Amino acid sequence: MRENEKSEAGREKRLKAARRLVIKVGTSTVTGTEGELCRAWMEPIVRSIASLMKGGRQVVLVSSGAVGLGRGWLGLHRSRLSDMVTKQACAAVGQSLLMDAYKDLFSTWGVKIAQVLLTEEDFTNWRRYSNLRQTMEKLLGFGVLPIVNENDTVSTAELESIAPETRTAAFSDNDRLAALVMSGLEAEALVLLTNVDGLLQQKSADGKLKIISLVEEITPELKALASGPSASGRGGMRTKLEAAGIAMNCGGTAVIANGQTENVVDRIFAGETIGTAFLPVKRMKGKRRWIAYAADVRGRVVVDPGAFRALTQGKASLLASGITRIETHFASADVVSIVDGAGREFARGIANCDSSEAAKVLGMKENDGGKRGTASSCVLVTRDNIVLLNKP
């Protein structure tokens, strides 16, 4: 069997076998042109989710659409929402409409639902992150479908336009939110339903766009194919690639597909080649996934070449003696960004002490003319709490 055929077979096997799933539907799938719920697209998806649950799979639905429904209800669907407060007001109105619609749709199939509204603090704080997981596990154990969205009424992270490369928040779109939910619950599959058929290559000589059916590595060339935000949503293909990258690095399979395709969810989990599938590359443990993708990075330290080699080539902890500069303040137990001399972030970790204590040790080292002896016993980050980054 050729390598590509093996990969396609692996895709089919993984998706057929996946028992815990996260499915995200975008605004373009949830709402119509007049700001109304698009039942023609949502009813088949609801039916498919109900069928998956009846078959013994656990499903979490991450749903956009609150702002869009709120705009329609308030008669603002033809207006440009230029200020944050209006967007938040639309979200407050639309969220209840969204849940009423889902309650009506899923009740037809006997599926009980639960609303889970999240802010970035639910991910960036380890205790809240752990509590969230326990609650979601309990809901899934009860056979309930959790329906997740950001709490846009009080949080502005998703409503603001933030470029992925400059993001500091845990999430600023529902694509990344869905990936973090998948990571936290250790789900095997993430499906991102949008208004395009998958990741498209550049136009060929005949002017047609070709779908990339399988991705085993997210390369710079692949990222260059992604466009910006869509007209109705806030994500676009760039954020979907980022979400898929998180899924891959957490040991899961991700699929980007068109939510308007007939029986799309059924076909994905039947193993059919539809949309773009992203195969897993590794599997981080729970807390390490949190450090890498969800934690709120509070501090930033620059390390010398020796510390860089010890961290990247060995299994060393980060000693205070290996730090050359502390760039931002942090408290004990905060997650810090670890960068090399050129300012490139290559790792993150949980600090054992605060920045003032680390600065004292750094000062001792400087007073000793750069000798490491006075600082060698001070461990800023232990190895178990360090994650080397391979950014999606």
Question: Tens digits of per-residue pLDDT, 15-32?
Answer: 999 999 999 999 989 999
178: CATH: 3.40.1160.10
Same structural domain, 129 and 105 = yes
pLDDT 10s digits, 222-281: 888 876 555 444 557 889 999 999 999 899 999 999 999 999 999 999 999 999 999 998
Give the pLDDT score at 2. Answer: 56
- Residue 150: pLDDT band by 50, 70, 90 thresholds? very high
The per-residue pLDDT for 223 is 84
Mean pLDDT of 332-343: 93
Same-domain pairing of 203 and 276: yes
Are residues 84 and 187 located together in one domain of the fold? Answer: yes
Clarify whether residues 271 and 334 are in a common domain.
Answer: no
- State the CATH number of the domain containing residue 300: 2.30.130.10
Answer yes or no: do 312 and 207 share one domain: no
User: How far is residue 328's CA from residue 217's CA, in Å, rounded to a whole number?
Assistant: 33
Q: pLDDT at residue 60 above 90?
A: yes
Band (pLDDT 50/70/90 cuts) for residue 376 is low
Q: How confident is the model at residue 203 (pLDDT cuts 50, 70, 90)?
A: low
Percent of the chain with pLDDT over 90: 59
**Residues 266-324: pLDDT tens digits?**
999 999 999 999 999 877 777 888 898 888 888 999 999 999 999 999 889 999 889 99
Task: Pick the closest to residue 387 from 336, 351, 347, 339 (CA basis).
Answer: 347
Domain boundary among 265, 289, 313: 289
Q: Which of 289, 306, 341 finishes a domain? A: 289
Q: How many domains, in total, are found in the chain? A: 2
- Across 51-78, average pLDDT: 93
Q: Which domain holds residue 301?
A: 296-388
Asked if residue 308 and residue 263 are part of one domain, the reply reads no
Amino acid 225: pLDDT: 80
| Positions of E strands within 270-310 | 276-278, 297-303
Closest to 240 (Cα-Cα) out of 285, 193, 208, 286? 193
Mean pLDDT, rounded, for 208-228: 83
**Distance from C-alpha of 333 to C-alpha of 155, rounded to nearest angstrom:** 24
With CA atoms as reference, report the closest residue to 353 among 310, 320, 315: 320
Q: Are residues 177 and 323 in the same domain?
A: no
> How many residues can be counted in the chain?
392
Q: What is the mean pLDDT of residues 161-188?
A: 74
Pairing of strands 20-25, 58-63: parallel
Per-residue pLDDT at 320? 85
What's the confidence (pLDDT) of residue 233? 47
Whether the predicted pLDDT of 364 surpasses 90 = no
Q: Say whether both 134 and 243 belong to one domain.
A: yes
Least confident stretch, 38-52, 89-103, 106-120, 203-217 = 203-217
Task: For 90-100, give one letter per residue: b (16+ CB within 10 A) or e.
Answer: bbbbbbebbbe
Q: Please, which pLDDT band fits residue 168 given cuts at 50, 70 and 90?
A: very low
**DSSP letter assigned to residue 189:** E
273 & 357 share domain: no
Q: Which of 289, 319, 350 is the last residue of a domain?
A: 289
9 plus 122 within the same structural domain: yes
Q: Are residues 273 and 301 in the same domain?
A: no
Task: Say if residue 332 is in the same domain as residue 308.
Answer: yes
Confidence of residue 219 (pLDDT cuts 50, 70, 90): confident
Beta-sheet pairing, 145-150 with 113-118: parallel
Confidence of residue 377 (pLDDT cuts 50, 70, 90): low
